[in-house]
Amino acid sequence: MTQLHDQTLALASMFQSATLINQLAHGKPINQAAFDCSMDSLFTLEANSTEDIFGYGDGLIQGLKTLIDYLDGQHKSPERVIAYYVLSMIKLESRLLKNKTQVQQVHSGLESIQKQAVDFEMSQSAKAHKVDGLYQKTVSTLKPRIIVQGEQVHLNNSDNTSKVRTLLFAGIRAAVLWRQKGGSRLRLLFSRKKYVQQAQKILQQF
């Protein structure tokens, strides 16, 4: 696969996390397959391909469609908060990678959660709460913090907040991969059309 293909999948994962976060923050139902894809990507620490991280099924369809909506210029009234979340994930990814101690804490923490999940047959909800705890100990200490915008009644719901932080984590993980595959803010600015065309090509496979 090409670098553009891999970058597009990683960028779609960021858009997907951002979209799901926005839905949760406003009490809207989310696509469970999309959430599972995003969360599971956190625990695929060793992979031979980008598809191994995000899967080959329909898990990223929502993210691919959102990427197209936002980058092709046809979206008549895009919610700016989605772009805010994506750009914030990219900023935090850069700050996280500068802190080698914290990177190791994240890596070992995710390995520990995955082992517990297998040993104790954790539900996705219980696993998300564990990820939430790791996020608060690590990424939440970085500045600037991502401010999730929504309705307080939903933001105060512990299940929702654990899912939101899990998705933020997944988005930052995708930003790391995006950068590793050659992605950059300049590329995002000047290669929007290429990302859209690649996302459309990927969607045609489903």
**Which CATH number is 75's domain given?**
1.10.3890.10
Q: Are 96 and 172 in contact (CB under 8 A)?
A: yes
Q: In the chain, which residue ranges form alpha helices assigned H by DSSP? A: 3-25, 32-42, 50-54, 61-71, 80-97, 100-119, 124-137, 152-155, 158-180, 185-190, 192-203
Residues 110 and 117: their CA atoms lie apart, in Å, by 10
Domain with 141 in it: 3-203
d(CA 68, CA 192): 9
How many separate domains does the chain show? 1
Q: How many angstroms separate the CA atoms of 2 and 7, rounded?
A: 9
Q: What is the pLDDT along the chain (206 residues), one digit of tens a residue?
A: 799 999 999 999 999 999 999 999 999 999 999 999 999 999 988 888 888 899 866 799 999 999 999 998 765 556 789 999 999 999 999 999 999 999 999 999 999 999 999 999 999 999 999 999 999 999 999 988 899 999 999 999 999 999 999 999 999 999 999 999 999 999 998 999 999 999 999 999 87
